[in-house]
Amino acid sequence: MAENIMDINDDSFEEIVLKSDKPVMVDFWAPWCGPCKAIAPTVEALEKEFGDKMTFVKVNVDDNPISPSKYGVQAIPTLIFFKKGEIADQITGMVAKQKLEETIKSVL
């Protein structure tokens, strides 16, 4: 849950994520999830660092049940990296910023 990261929903998921020319990182989160809120500043920092090469969006799993279920998300925070509509990588749980940077670089 990052304040400055674009909120998308089940309806806009295909257009914004799957049809994107740039790789997309989707942050699946919910308001009741402490760790999701705790990693938000890290996600925002990554957006500042890599925002020109990768699109960063978030999906509230409470309001949008379809996309998390389609990608088998049963734990949050889950970050899924999409490239040309396909899953390129996926990270569940709280991890170090360094690990996220490495993942982003490998996806790019």
Shortest spacing between CB 5 and other proteins, in angstroms: 16
24 in contact with other proteins (CB under 8 A): no
31 in contact with other proteins (CB under 8 A): no
- Choose one: 9-17, 18-26, 51-59, 67-75; the region binding other proteins (CB under 8 A): 67-75
Strand 86-92 vs strand 78-83: parallel, antiparallel, or unpaired?
antiparallel
Nearer to other proteins, 91 or 107 (CB): 91
The correct pick among 14, 35, 63, 106 for binding other proteins (CB under 8 A) is 35
* Catalytic residue check, 33: yes
CA distance 28 to 21: 21
Q: Which of 2, 5, 17, 36 is catalytic?
A: 36
Per CB under 8 A, contacts with other proteins among 42-61 are 42, 45
Q: Sign of the C-alpha dihedral, residues 94, 75, 102, 41?
A: negative
Q: Report the b/e string of 29-40 with b at 16+ CB within 10 A.
A: bbeebeebeebb
95 in contact with other proteins (CB under 8 A): yes
Q: Which of 33, 45, 88, 91 is catalytic?
A: 33
